[in-house]
Amino acid sequence: SDEETSYYVRLQYNGEILPLFTKVDGATGAKKKTADTDTTTDLYKASFMAGGGAFGYKMDDIRVDVEGLYSQLSKDTLDVAPTPAIADSLTAFSGLVNVYYDIAIEDMPITPYVGVGVGAAYISTPLATAVSS
């Protein structure tokens, strides 16, 4: 059999080298009021702390891997504090299972691929005091 198989490890960095210039969207209600004005700005800023890794198995043109990721958004504390009080940071832990198909094209220096994955994430509460029912 000419089947090519191997294990692989992948590491990635998703943080922001210059977080000052990165806009963070999507944290519901996470806006802060600029002192004595009606202007609101993003409450969280991107962090240097983000990345992950994967461990996988390659079988000819098919790859399967299990991936773990971590990311953090830090509170931008330069202006007036919001109400209710929020946590100093939001963290997200996620795990995924991915399947890729490498599209082998003869005499091409790169290998394009298509992939699909499924996963789950735990995201910390943005409130300083956790809500209990």
**Cα–Cα distance for residue pair 116/125, rounded to 1 Å:** 28
Instruction: For the chain, give every domain's residue range.
Output: 5-123
pTM for the full model?
Answer: 0.66
Q: Tens-digit pLDDT profile for the chain (133 aa)?
A: 567 899 999 999 887 766 555 555 554 444 555 555 555 555 666 677 789 999 999 999 999 999 999 988 776 655 555 555 666 777 889 999 999 999 999 999 999 999 999 999 998 876 666 656 5
Q: Which residue has the tokens 């294990």?
A: 7
pLDDT for 3 equals: 77
Phi/psi for 19 (5° steps) reads: -65, -20
Q: State the amino acid at position 54 in one-letter form.
A: A
**Cα–Cα distance for residue pair 93/50, rounded to 1 Å:** 10
pLDDT for 97 equals: 98
